Amino acid sequence: MDKNTILSRYAAGERDFHGVILHQANLRDVNLSGANLSGADLSGADLNRANLMGCDLSCANLTDADLNGANLSGANLSETNLIGADMVHVNLEASNLKRADLRSASLVLANLARANLSEAELSGTNFSGANLFHADFSAANLYEAEITGADLTGAIITEEEMSREKIYTGLSHKWVTWAGGS
């Protein structure tokens, strides 16, 4: 399924796009709010300024996706692969990122107020200047995460999660990519 097919089906009222493959698709500025994109392959996709508010993106592959300025407030991103995703100024307010893999993702100046990041893999993630107000980091791996200038007011985070010496013993994430090699 390509971008135009999805957008025309969405305009006709369809919301279930479970498992769709849109590797490296240009979805800049699209409105797919409330869509079911669970299990979708959006790796390398350009979702810059996309409206994905309330979407189900659970178990989706968003490796290296460009989500700069996107609206994902209230979205379900549980167990989603966001390794290396570019998410500067993204709105993830009240989103569910439980057990998501955000290794080396850039969430500079992102809004994660009241987001659930419990059990998430956040090693090497850049949260510089992010709004982490009341975010839940229970059992998350924050090893080498950058939080300079982030607002951690009311965040659920322990010394163990903040410790650079913590050895993460949670689940390992194994991801499949549909990207072809050259």
CATH number at residue 46: 2.160.20.80
Whole-structure pTM over 0.85, yes or no?
yes
Asked, for residue 100, whether it belongs to a domain, the answer is yes
Three-state secondary structure of 67-110: CCCCECCCCECCCCECCCCECCCCECCCCECCCCECCCCECCCC
**What is the predicted pLDDT for the residue at 87?**
98
Residue 78 binned pLDDT confidence (cut-offs 50, 70, 90): very high
**What is the predicted pLDDT for the residue at 122?**
96
Model confidence at 12: pLDDT above 80: yes
Asked, for residue 80, whether it belongs to a domain, the answer is yes
Give the residue, 166 or 26, on which the prediction is more confident. 26
Q: What's the number of domains the chain is made of?
A: 1
Please give the Cα distance from 42 to 150 (Å, whole number).
28
Asked, for residue 175, whether it belongs to a domain, the answer is no
Residue 135 binned pLDDT confidence (cut-offs 50, 70, 90): very high
Tell me the H-state helices in the chain: 3-11, 159-162
Pair 5, 24: CB distance under 8 Å: no
Asked, for residue 170, whether it belongs to a domain, the answer is no
Asked, for residue 125, whether it belongs to a domain, the answer is yes
Asked, for residue 176, whether it belongs to a domain, the answer is no
Domain range for 129 is 1-163
Asked, for residue 98, whether it belongs to a domain, the answer is yes
Distance of CA 42 to the CA centre of its chain: 11
Asked, for residue 90, whether it belongs to a domain, the answer is yes
Q: What is the mean pLDDT of the chain?
A: 90
Residue 164 binned pLDDT confidence (cut-offs 50, 70, 90): very low
